[in-house]
């Protein structure tokens, strides 16, 4: 790995075209969108997506890209709604992604065409999490089927490249699920650390707590943020990680494979 892979956008674009367009990627905990009309939007690996539960509680993951001019349909991170109205020219979509209406001056020629609906993505659920994929991967991360009761999620915004966050988590006592999940135990609690690569220097960390109080883990999440931002400064200054353990070595091996295939 080179320090530029952590501090410049080229590696992120390559990762977007490879890892993030083909793997199952975690998006959120099922419990974060438990009720009818609940939604959560995020940019994962550069792809804008939104998870939404319709009135019948069916869960979908849709591309957050309006079919009129490809702008984000929502910029709200999470909430509850009846429909999604694009703020640019007013195309309005149902919770299933179907176009409901569009103002006459900008209406599509054929409003019944499937090409005017939001693109629906492959979805999988495992270990209480919602996954999506832009490709057709076969193996869903083998997460534990039955977790203790969901306690909540801490969202932490970190000014670092996603790989810095991954390497830091891999240096602790975790089970790693390529490319974005680390699971650990803390007494009776199970903590799932979900990395959300937003841009090449912005990462959101979802800390999902099951079997324990979410507030008991806020300090740890704040510490992860501090450490990762310091490590990002090191990478930007050209100082790379030393003393990698077997998980980090495997993480680098898989990245090297991806980069080689992309060159
Ligand atoms: S870009 Fe969404 S309505 Fe025009």
Nearest of 235, 244, 184 to residue 7 by alpha carbon = 235
Residues 164 and 145: their CA atoms lie apart, in Å, by 29
Strand arrangement of the beta sheet that strand 25-29 belongs to: 25-29, 129-133, 122-126
194-229 pLDDT, tens digit per residue, is: 999 999 999 999 999 999 999 999 999 999 999 999
34-63 pLDDT, tens digit per residue, is: 999 999 999 999 999 999 999 999 999 999
Kindly give the distance from the C-alpha atom of residue 50 to the centroid of ligand 1, in angstroms, as a whole number: 16
How many Cα atoms are found within 13 Å in the side-chain-facing hemisphere of 1?
Answer: 25
**Which one of 86, 97, 104, 111 would you pick to mutate in the ligand 1 pocket, going by the greatest count of ligand atoms within 8 A of its CB?**
86
| The model scores a pTM over 0.85 | yes
Q: What is the model's pLDDT at position 241?
A: 78
What is the percentage of the chain residues whose pLDDT exceeds 90? 76
Q: Which residues of the chain have pLDDT under 50?
A: none
Q: Looking at the CA of residue 86, tell me the nearest atom of ligand 1.
A: 2
Q: What is the model's pLDDT at position 263?
A: 58
Q: How many CB atoms are located within 10 Å of the residue 1 CB?
A: 17
Q: What is the model's pLDDT at position 193?
A: 96
Q: Pocket residues for ligand 1 (CB within 6 Å)? A: 66, 68-69, 71, 86, 88-91
Nearest of 181, 98, 94 to residue 144 by alpha carbon = 181
Residues 200 and 197: their CA atoms lie apart, in Å, by 7
Q: What is the model's pLDDT at position 261?
A: 77
């Amino acid at each position: 790995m080179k320090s530029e892979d952590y501090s410049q956008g080229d590696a992120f674009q390559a990762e977007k075209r490879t890892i993030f367009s083909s793997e199952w990627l975690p998006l959120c905990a099922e419990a974060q969108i438990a009720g009818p009309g609940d939604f959560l939007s995020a940019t994962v690996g550069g792809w804008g997506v939104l998870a939404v539960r319709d009135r019948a509680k069916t869960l979908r993951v849709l591309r957050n890209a309006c079919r009129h001019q490809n702008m984000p349909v929502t910029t709200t991170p999470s909430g509850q709604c009846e429909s999604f109205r694009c703020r640019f020219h007013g195309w309005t979509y149902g919770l299933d992604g179907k176009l409901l209406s569009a103002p006459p001056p900008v209406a599509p020629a054929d409003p019944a065409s499937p090409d005017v609906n939001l693109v629906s993505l492959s979805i999988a659920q495992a270990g209480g999490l919602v996954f999506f994929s832009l490709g057709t991967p076969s193996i869903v991360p083998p997460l534990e089927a039955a977790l203790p009761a969901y306690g909540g999620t801490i969202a932490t915004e970190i000014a670092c490249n996603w790989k810095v966050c991954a390497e830091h988590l891999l240096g602790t006592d975790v089970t790693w699920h390529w490319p974005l999940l680390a699971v650990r135990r803390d007494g009776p609690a199970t903590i799932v650390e979900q990395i959300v690569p937003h841009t090449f220097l912005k990462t959101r960390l979802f800390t999902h707590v099951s079997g324990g109080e979410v507030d008991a883990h806020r300090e740890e999440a704040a510490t992860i943020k501090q450490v990762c931002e310091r490590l990002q400064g090191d990478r930007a200054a050209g100082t790379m990680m030393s003393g990698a353990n077997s998980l980090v070595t495997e993480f680098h091996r898989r990245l090297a494979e991806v980069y080689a295939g992309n060159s």
